[in-house]
Amino acid sequence: MNPNKVIVIDDVKRDLHSVNFETRPLPAIPNVSRDLNEKDLIIRGLIELKTDILEVKDLIRNKYSAITDEMDNNGFYINKNEIELMNGEDIERELIKYLLKLHNWDVNKVSDNLSQSKRNIYRKINKYNINRYGND
């Protein structure tokens, strides 16, 4: 490599390799019908799509597990010993208190969450004497 040397076409031709396309490894198999090559490429594409889908599923699973871990730490939880001593109304009361607190006392969201009418949620708030400031 001489910095002052001028490159001519003969130097380039001498240094280039001649490529034999018959022996060169191509992404497709040589000497096979075009249909078979297309099928091979389609299968390779499907395999790549499958790996991409699996990666996305792993990302979603990791994100979901992080959310559920956060819910376990901050969410609705009744101790096993406590729940054995509670009846259905006590559990319902605790659930409604939790959902009201979670949704910042938005009764519409609580009623949607429990698939009950707003009127029924208000009736249960009065029945269980639940108030916003925790003096229940």
Q: What is the pLDDT of residues 98-131, one digit of tens each?
A: 889 888 999 999 999 888 999 999 999 999 999 9
Residue at a domain's end among 31, 57, 75:
75
2, part of any domain: no
Enumerate residues 6+ apart whose C-beta is below 8 A from 108: 118
Q: Are residues 97 and 41 in the same domain?
A: no
User: For residue 19, what pLDDT band results from cuts at 50, 70 and 90?
Assistant: low
Dihedral of CA 99/105/111/112: which sign?
A: negative
In this model, does residue 45 exceed pLDDT 80? yes
Q: What tokens does 106 get? A: 């938005």
User: Model's pTM, two decimal places?
Assistant: 0.45
Euclidean distance between CA atoms 83 and 87, whole angstroms: 8
Q: Number of structural domains, the chain?
A: 2
52, part of any domain: yes
1, part of any domain: no
Contact 93, 128 (CB under 8 A): yes
